[in-house]
Amino acid sequence: MKRTLSLGLLIAVLFISCKKENSNRPATGTRLVKLVQGNNAATDTVCNFTYNAAGQVVSVDRVENSYTDLYALHYNSQGQLDSLYQAEGNSVGFPTKGFSYNPDGTLSEIRINDLIFDFGSRYVFYYNNGFLLGSECYVQSTGGGEELKEYSLYTFENGNIVKLEFYDAEANLIYRRNFTYSSHNNQLKLISLLEDFGPAAGMYTMTGMGFEGFFNRNLVAGYTFTPFSSSSFYEEKTISYSFNSNAQLPIKIETKNLSNAVEETWHLTYE
């Protein structure tokens, strides 16, 4: 259950070596090169991933309808992702993200800086002996400093978040999410960070969590959403995966509701 690996190493886990796939499978390698949200790449959101010689994702080209945005990723000398920004597109430089780490390599902070509206926010992560306990979100206050906006508390079992409780700054419980997991290793760690803080499509509706998915050992199999306000309603989702021939890499993900109807579909392509 301990989480002491660096982000760079965890990103490497995303691309675990596997055997060459059957010719009738869309997954032919170990590097994720395309993520399509939907069933039609011509009309749905598409993310294309580019790598450097070290095997790190260095850019993501996101196409949605007639809009195209290019996001650039930068790594520090330890191979950890330390910044993400929009390099080309409709709003270049808006926003940028910075990532900081504890001495043991665990993620300590994510900073979001909006270069157009001069707005910033900061997510701070807290651990106990390597276990993630909670996260706090701070935003700029009208007085020029920063103030607590919201926070989350996590319960872990077997290396996965099984309960997420979300609170406002006044400690009012807003909602609770409970999660179940498959036996498959989590191959979507990097995408979890990109969705919440950048270009990747639909991770939140895909798994029921955003950046929190980065901390999980296994892939989410389902979740429930229990609100504590009249503005939201209870939800229950199941998540199914189709894998490549050696059952290592997910090539199709479907989210279904209580009626077993498919609500969201994602297709993943590897090289």
Question: Tell me: the pLDDT tens digits for 147-162?
Answer: 999 999 999 999 999 9
Instruction: Work out the widest C-alpha separation in the chain, in whole angstroms.
Output: 60
pLDDT on residue 115? 57
**Which residue, chain included where needed, has tokens 């919201």?**
150
Q: Quick check: is 37 in a domain? A: yes
Q: Quick check: is 38 in a domain? A: yes
pLDDT on residue 104? 92
Q: Quick check: is 1 in a domain? A: no
**How far apart, in whole angstroms, are the C-alpha atoms of residue 181 and residue 68?**
34
At CA 114, angle to CA 94 and CA 58, rounded to 5? 45
Of 130, 139, 174, 138, whose CA–CA distance to 153 is shortest? Answer: 174
Q: Which two tokens stand for residue 205?
A: 């509706």
Q: What confidence tens digit (pLDDT) does each residue in 187-204 have?
A: 888 888 876 555 554 555
Q: Where are the beta strands (DSSP E) in 38-159?
A: 45-51, 57-64, 67-75, 81-88, 96-101, 107-114, 119-128, 131-140, 146-157
CATH of residue 63 = 2.40.160.190
pLDDT on residue 245? 80
Q: What confidence tens digit (pLDDT) does each residue in 3-22 have?
A: 332 333 233 333 333 333 33
pLDDT on residue 106? 93
Q: What confidence tens digit (pLDDT) does each residue in 69-116 have?
A: 888 999 999 999 998 887 776 655 556 788 999 999 999 999 887 655
pLDDT on residue 11? 34
Q: Quick check: is 2 in a domain? A: no
**How far apart, in whole angstroms, are the C-alpha atoms of residue 139 and residue 123?**
9
Domain count, the chain: 1
What is the pLDDT confidence band of residue 178, given thresholds at 50, 70 and 90? very high
Q: Which domain holds residue 49?
A: 7-270
Q: Quick check: is 104 in a domain? A: yes
Residue 170 has pLDDT above 70, yes or no: yes
Contact 130, 141 (CB under 8 A): no
Cβ count near 94 (within 10 Å): 15
**How far apart, in whole angstroms, are the C-alpha atoms of residue 187 and residue 35?**
13
